[in-house]
Amino acid sequence: MFGTRCLLRALRFCSSAPSPRPKPSAKLSVRDALGAQSTNGERVKVQGWIRSVRSQKEVLFLHINDGSSLESLQVVADSSFDSRELAFGSSVEVQGQLVKSPSKKQNVELKAEKIEIVGNCDAKAFPFKYKERPPLEYLRQYPHLRCRTNALGSILRIRSEATAAIHSFFKDSGFVHIHTPIITSNDCEGAGELFQVEPSSKIKVPEENFFNVPAFLTVSGQLHLEVMSGAFTQVFTFGPTFRAENSQSRRHLAEFYMVEAEISFVESLQDLMQVMEGLFKTATMMVLSSCPEDVELCHKFIAPGQKDRLEHMLKNNFLIISYTEAVEILKQASRNFTFTPEWGVDLQTEHEKYLVKHCGNIPVFVINYPLALKPFYMRDNEDGPQHTVAAVDLLVPGVGELFGGSLREERYHFLEQRLARSGLTEAYQWYLDLRRFGSVPHGGFGMGFERYLQCILGIDNIKDVIPFPRFTHSCVL
């Protein structure tokens, strides 16, 4: 039963087990090499791509980057190494001694004993050249190569750190992470802008849906999160959402990421806003401390002045105004708007921008929107004559709306009436059920992740903060 032969071949590669092969030079990432505390001339191996070559009379300087950090490792070789093959963009493996650098620019450098070209770079065809710093628009033409530049390298490392920071904020606050579904049969929200999903025509079963019902790509995990908040009290999701919006704007994508949270036993917008502000500030502080060089690149070269603007956001308490107050402020504005501000009408981007400026470029929560503007699930404030619901948007400098949230209607009969008015009663029996069985006051919010990155980094176009942007007329790779 138990094959000896296959047992004999079992690898002994548990972390504690010694390797049977003779120990090669320790392999180090560029980041670890740069951060080495003691440089007693140990022999190491570093692999990466050449970012620069500088040949002097008797020495050759290379800079090697492997994406583990913005900074490259300086390699010093004697001029006997053939520098012709050592071209920008080529991949190399360098073995040698890690030593203290005589220059002030870096702590350590690698004294090369062996340099091996792993893969050449066809320099003529390579769209990036040594020492050039092409604009982000240019890089967008090369979605498969742009991550090799300093700019996109930094942005995507920050994106990775921000993802970790957001997960960690929620975990530390006791939230349970939920994978809400991507394919859904709920079709009422964002009605006009849904993507529909069908098996590809090659296998389409005629006259029948794969799922028996029409299926769409999710526009929000909120309703599914509400199911879960009825069991776990505090839940969050962080995944892709979709809009079939015919927009080429610098703030919209067809596929983007949302961070959504839902919290039971929340009785006021204040409680919700506290979590929203906490998420923004905590995640941002974590990003600033985990990859300061990458953030500095953005704040120095891509969006000068952004460092101060971000500090201003972080050190001030976010403000709160009501929708009604917002409309008053807009009406009293000295400037003209393309869309005349009026109670009962949605705020436009131009209005949002004006409000943020009016508030001294501090993020501002706008609360209590007209009931008629908002979906069935938002909690009725039972006020009048201007009838509102307990909704909240957070407007931030540069981006406009970053968060949207609300208290949810937890009262069975209120919800039942709202559903009936929208003709949705039958489709949302399950949603009513959540109010039949131990209903609790609750609320939640969503934050657009790409807009968050735009906001903290000062990146103007949303296509530059996501690895592979999808939008009207474009789905490259």
171 binds a second copy (CB under 8 A): yes
Interface with a second copy in residues 336-355 (CB under 8 A):
none
| Interface with a second copy (CB under 8 A), residue from 41, 199, 292, 304 | 199
Listed residue (43, 131, 115, 117) closest to 79, CA to CA = 115
Interacting span for a second copy (CB under 8 A) from 107-115, 209-217, 395-403, 415-423: 209-217
Query: How far is residue 422's CA from residue 425's CA, in Å, rounded to a whole number?
Result: 8
Q: Which is nearer to a second copy, 216 or 452 (CB)?
A: 216
For a second copy, which residue of 390, 439, 456, 458 counts as binding (CB under 8 A)? 439
Question: Shortest gap between Cβ of 103 and a second copy (angstroms)?
Answer: 25
Within residues 121-160, the interface with a second copy by CB under 8 A covers: 121-122, 125-126, 143-145, 147-148, 152-153, 156-157, 159-160
Residues 6+ apart with CB under 8 A from 302: 136, 151, 457, 458, 459
- The least distance separating a second copy from the CB of residue 171, rounded to whole angstroms, comes to 6
User: Minimal distance in Å, beta carbon 19 to a second copy?
Assistant: 10
Tokens of 445: 């919010």
> Quick check: 68 binds a second copy (CB under 8 A)?
yes
Q: Which of residues 242-271 bind a second copy (CB under 8 A)?
A: 242, 244, 246, 254-255, 257, 264-265, 270
Distance between CA atoms of residues 64 and 73, nearest Å: 5
Return the number of the residue (1 or 105) whose C-beta is nearest a second copy.
Answer: 1
- Name which of 245, 253, 297 is nearest 459 in CA terms: 297
Of these, 274, 289, 340, 422, which contacts a second copy (CB under 8 A)?
A: 274
CA dihedral in degrees (6, 7, 12, 17; nearest 10)? 180
Residues 92, 49: Cα–Cα separation, whole Å: 6
H or E element that contains 476: none
Site for a second copy in 97-126 (CB under 8 A): 118-122, 125-126
Output the smallest distance, CB 102 to a second copy, in A.
Answer: 28
Mapped onto helix, strand or coil, the DSSP state of residue 235 is strand
**Is residue 34 within 8 Å of residue 106, measured between CB atoms?**
yes
What single letter denotes the amino acid at residue 140? R
Q: Return the closest-CA partner of residue 441 out of 294, 296, 263, 312.
A: 263
Q: What character string, x for contact with a second copy (CB under 8 A) and - otherwise, covers 387-416?
A: -----------------------x------
Among 76, 155, 178, 295, the residue binding a second copy under the rule CB under 8 A is 178
